Amino acid sequence: MTNDPGLFETIYTTRALRRFKPDPVPDEVLFQLFDAAIRASSGQNAQDWRWIIIRDAAIKRQLKEWALEGWTRYAARYGSEEEIAALPRNQRLSLNSVRDLAHGLDRVPVIVAVLGMKGRHSTPGGSTFPAVQNFQLAARALGLGSSIFNLPMRDRLYEMLGIPETNQLYCLLPIGYPVDKQGPLNRKPVKAVVFDEKYGAGWAFAEAQPESGWGDRWLRP
Ligand SMILES: Cc1cc2nc3c(=O)[nH]c(=O)nc-3n(C[C@H](O)[C@H](O)[C@H](O)COP(=O)(O)O)c2cc1C
């Protein structure tokens, strides 16, 4: 692929994208994403992640209904619409995109349900989320967007999707061709989260680096 971004550009620009064009995602693209996802590591190489591709209109409508319930509860934490409008820009834009995804969930081309085996691993998510990250990075590299979106998660999904009791639903991943741009990420600097030898001890090398990190080395102008 000629436009394939390099690994670091991909990592530095993979953000949660929640608004999608109606264009379907071809099976060969989906296959590439899953084939990249399952290259991830897992405890004892168990590879017991399982993935369900959801494209059925009735299931997406039900997920939308649950997402809207979830959104109502979630948005209430931030107050009225006016209070949300007064939030700092980044927070407001991100909340608006969550709202739009809840309202548009039935129009998202594909939603992937991510499962893992119950009880096998001492850190269960640790054997599933590396594969989710591979999936999202591969999606970004191919010009798609995605985000983890758990507002519609309900126990009833197990029955709806025929998920056996041995499995646990970890997350939902709506995916499609994004309306919004792939983009730089808003993250705390390395120096705020990495310590030298002891918790809380500053790492001098990181303290000497720009607050914005090294993204400029990788992002194309
Ligand atoms: C375990 C996990 C759960 C998440 N759950 C949700 C969710 O339920 N709804 C949502 O809109 N985003 C969810 N996200 C996405 C994060 O909110 C998002 O990545 C974060 O706000 C940073 O945004 P950015 O990647 O666009 O910079 C989740 C991310 C992770 C890793």
* CA 160 to each of CA 58, 62, 157, 172, 174: distance values in angstroms, whole numbers, following the listed order: 11, 10, 5, 14, 17
Residue nearest to atom 30 of ligand 1 (CA): 148
Nearest ligand 1 atom to the CA of 185 is 27
For ligand 1, say whether the CB of 93 is within 6 Å of any of its atoms: no
Percent of the chain with pLDDT over 70: 98
For ligand 1, say whether the CB of 137 is within 6 Å of any of its atoms: no
Q: Which long-range contacts (CB under 8 A, 24 or more apart) does 184-187 make?
A: 184/12, 184/13, 184/15, 184/215, 184/219, 185/12, 185/13, 185/14, 185/15, 185/215, 186/90, 187/213
Token pair 């109606």 is at which residue? 22
**What is the residue-averaged pLDDT of the chain?**
95
Q: Where are the domains of the chain?
A: 7-181, 187-212
Pocket test for ligand 1, best of 11, 14, 99, 150 (most atoms within 8 A of CB): 150
* Prediction pTM value: 0.95
pLDDT, one tens digit per residue, over 82-135 is 898 899 998 999 999 999 999 999 999 999 999 999 988 788 899 999 999 999
CATH placement of domain 7-181: 3.40.109.10
Token pair 């494209």 is at which residue? 55
